[in-house]
Chains A and B, each alone.
Chain A
Amino acid sequence: MESEQQHSAASVRAVEIGVAVVIFLFGALVVFDSYRLGARWGDDGPQAGYFPFYVGLFICASGAAIFVRALRNTAFAAESFVSREELKKILTVLVPTIVYVSVIGYLGFYVASTLYIAYFMWHLGKYAWFKIAPVSIGVSVAFFLIFEIWFSVPLPKGPLEAALGLN
C-alpha cells in the first residue's frame, strides 16, 4: 500500500516469503551435505551427518510453515516492510560500511576508520571539514592508543602506519 508520503519498497508478505524460501533452501543445503557425509548409524556410533541431518529437516519444515502462513495472510500484503525512503537511508549506511570493511585490508584499520567516520559526518551530519577532521582523526588516535598501546592488541595496519614507522 502506498501512503501519502512514503512509497513502499517491499511488502511484508514479499519479504516474509523471500526469507522463508531462503531458509528452506538453507535447510535443504544442510540436509544435502549431511546426507553426503552419512546421516546413518556407522560402525562406532552415529555418523558425522547424523545430527545436522535432522537439524536441516527442522529448518526446511519451519521454512515451509512460515511460507504457508505468509501466503495465507493477506494483511501482510498490504503492510510495508520498508519504505523507499527508509531503504535509501539504510543503504546510505550499509554501502559505506561494506566499502569500509573491504578497504581495511588495504588501508589499515585506523585510516579506514578515520575516512569512514568522516564520510558519515559529512554525508549524514553535514558538518564542516574543520569539525570533521579533528573528530574523525581524534577518534582513530584514541583507538590506536587504547588498542595498540594500552591493551597491546594489534589491529591491521596499512601504508600510512608503515610510513610513520608505527608497525
Chain B
Amino acid sequence: MEEINALLQGFGVALSPLNLLLMFVGVVLGIIIGVLPGLGGANGVAILLPLTFSMAQQPGGTTSAIILLSCIYWGALFGGAITSILFNIPGEPWSVATTFDGHPLAQLGRAGSALTAAFTSSFIGALIAVIMITFLSPVVAGFALRFGPPEFFSVYLLTFCAFVGMSGGNAAKTIASMMIGFALAAVGLDSVTGTLRLTFGFTSLLKGFDFLIAVIGLFGIGEILETLEEGLAFKGASARINFKVVLETWKELPRYWATSLRSAAVGCFMGIVPGGATPASFMSYGLARRLSKDGNDFGSGKVEGVVAPETAAHAAGTSALLPMITLGVPGSPTAAVLLGGLLIWGLQPGPLLFVEKPDFVWGLIASMYLGNIAGLIVVLTCVPLFAAILRIPFSIIAPVIIVICAIGAYTVHNSMFDVYLMVAFGVLGYAFKKLGYPLAPLVLALVLGDRAEENFRNAIKGSQGDLLVFFSNGLVGGLTSLALLLLFWPFIRAGWRMVLGKS
C-alpha cells in the first residue's frame, strides 16, 4: 500500500490552488488545440513548451509545468471527439474511428448522447489507465533500476522494432522514417568524441535538429497543407448538451461495460507497447463490432460504436506515459514531447526519477486523476463554445495557426533558422503523410536517437565490440529476443497461419 501513500502525497502536491488553475487552463487550451485543424496534442504541447521554461525554474515549478502540459494532452484527447462527432472531421488521428458511429448519431439528432458517451468513455478509459500506472509504474521502475546500457539499448530496440512489426503499414516506409529520425538526431556535435557529424560545414547545423521544430512542422504545417487540399466546408451538427441528455446517456452506458473493459484493456496494452492510440481505437472498434449483439448495425449510429474507440484511445494515450516516466521511453509522439520537456527542465526521465523526485512523479500521477475529472467537467459544460471555434472561417484560422506554429518554433531557441526548418519539415510532413510514411517513428527516433546511441556505445564499449552483449544475460537477452520477435511478427504470424491452415 506504499503506492496509496505516495499517491496521497501526490494529491497534496497537485491540489494546490496554482496547480488546480493550471489544470483547468491546460485542459481548456488542450481542447481548443484538439478542435483546431493543424494543432494536435504533440505540436500543441511542443509550441507551449517554451512558455514553461521560466515556470520550471521556480521551486516546485517542474511539477506545475508538467501538470500544465499533461493537461493540455488530456484536453486534446477530449477535443478530438468533438470535431469527429459534430463535423465528421477527426481532429486527431485517434478519433477517426469515433466518426464511424459518432457522426451518424449526430445526424440523427442525438449529438448530445454521442458527445456524452464519448467524453464519459474517454474518462473511464483514462481512469483505468491511470489506476494501472499508479500500481504498475513503481514496479516497472524498480525493475528498471537494475538496467545498464545494454538493457536500456534493448528497450529502445524493442520500442522501434514494435513500430515496424506492429504498425501494419509498409515496413520499408516505417524503417525509412525511423532511420531518417536517427540520422537527423546524429547531426551536430557528437558529445562523446567532440567531432562534428553530418554538418557539412554549415554552422547553423552545429546544434543539430531539435525535435520540437520537427514536431511543429511535421504535424502542424503538414496538416494545414493536407486540410487545405481536401477543401474545407465545415458543416456541423448543433452542439447542445443539456443535463437531461447527459443523465439519460449515463443510464444507457453501464450496458456496454464489457465493451468498455475490453477497449480499456486494448488501449492500455497498445499504449505501453508503442503502437499508440490510433491503432488501439481501430482495434477496439473492430472488436466491438465483431462481439456486440448489434454489431451489424455499427456505422449507423450506435452509442456502443462511440464507446469502444474513445475508451481505447484515451486509455492508450494515458498509458503511453507509463514507459515515459519509468523507462524514459515515450509511447507516443506527445509523450515524446513531454519527455523532451523533462530533459529541458533538467530532469532525467527513467527509473531514478521515482527515487530522486517522488514529489514530481506522484504529483504528475495524481494530476492525471484530477486533470481527467477537470476535462470531463469542462467538455460536458462547454461543448457549444468549443464547437463554435470550428465555425471560424478557414481563411482566418489557417494563417493564425501558422503564425502560432512560427512563434512556437522561434521561441524554442530564439532562432529564425528554426522557423525556416519548420516550413521545410512541414513540406516533408505533407509528402510523407500523402505517401503513407508514418511520422511517429521519425519523431521518436529524433528524440531518443542520442540516448539510444549513447547506450549502444557504452554497451559495446564494455564488451569490447562484441554484439553478443545484447544476449549476455537473461534480462537483456529476453528484451532483445522480444524485440526481434516483434520486428518479424508479420512473418511469424503469416508462417503460423500457413502451418495451421495446412494441418
A residues in contact (CB < 8 Å) with B: 12, 15-16, 19, 23, 26-27, 29-30, 33-34, 37, 41, 44-52, 55-56, 58-59, 61-63, 65-66, 69, 81-82, 86, 89-90, 93-94, 97-98, 100-102, 104-105, 109, 113, 116-117, 119-121, 123-125, 127, 135, 139, 143, 147, 151-156
Contact = CB atoms under 8 A, between A and B. Distances in A.
B411 A153 contact: yes
Contact of B186 (A51, A62, A124, A143): A51
B287 interface: no
A62 to B, nearest CB: 4
A125 B200 CA distance: 43
B172 A65 contact: yes
Nearest to B48: A151
Given A47-B193, A48-B195, A109 B407 contact: yes
Given A15-B431, A30-B186, A69-B172, 18 more contacts: A15-B435, A26-B183, A27-B183, A29-B198, A34-B197, A41-B465, A45-B460, A49-B197, A52-B198, A55-B182, A89-B229, A90-B225, A98-B423, A101-B420, A101-B423, A124-B395, A153-B50, A153-B411
Nearest to B410: A155
B416 to A, nearest CB: 6
A16 B436 CA distance: 10
A153 B51 contact: yes
Nearest to A110: B403
Name the prevailing secondary structure of the B interface residues: helix
Contact of B173 (A44, A66, A101, A127): A66
Interface in B231-290: none
A104 B406 CA distance: 10
Contacts of A51: 182, 186, 453, 456-457
A101 B399 CA distance: 12
Contacts of A143: 403, 407
Interface in B395-451: 395-396, 398-400, 402-403, 406-407, 410-411, 414, 416, 419-420, 422-423, 426-427, 430-431, 434-435
B108 interface: no
Contact of A120 (B175, B197, B398, B414): B398
B389 interface: no
Nearest to A50: B457
A97 B399 CA distance: 9
A113 B180 contact: no
B388 interface: no
Nearest to A113: B403
B197 A37 contact: yes
B161 to A, nearest CB: 13
B180 A59 contact: yes
B33 to A, nearest CB: 15
Contacts of A81: 434-435
B192 interface: yes
Given A33-B197, A155-B411, A52 B186 contact: yes
Given A65-B172, A117-B403, A121-B395, A97 B457 contact: no
Contacts of A104: 406, 416, 419
Given A97-B402, A125-B396, A52 B183 contact: yes
Nearest to A151: B51
Contact of B396 (A46, A117, A151): A117
